[in-house]
Amino acid sequence: MKKIIVACGSGIATSTVALTKIKTGLESRGKLEDIQFVQTSLSELPTLVEGASVIVTTAQGGDGFGVPVVSGLGLITGIGVDKVIDDIIEKANL
């Protein structure tokens, strides 16, 4: 099972929007099976990163703690959504 962490500043607002778009994008590509999603804030990220395949963050900066990081800003702006989904698929080896 792959673990995708979706993080934003508070763990609520933009990460919810991003998570919904990630699920939709992965489902449309037939890649939604066997994935655990974790929604969190950047401050809680260090405690949840173990076993993660990829981190998607809507905030700039931050450390991936050895896990690949994908910028999720395109999921919020609506610009480049397909590229973000493609990056998630590539970096998580889905």
Q: Which residues are catalytic?
A: 8
Q: Are 61 and 51 in contact (CB under 8 A)?
A: no
What phi, psi does 4 have (nearest 5°)? Answer: -110, 120
Q: Helix axis angle, 13-28 relative to 81-92, nearest 10°?
A: 80
* End-to-end CA separation in angstroms for the chain: 10
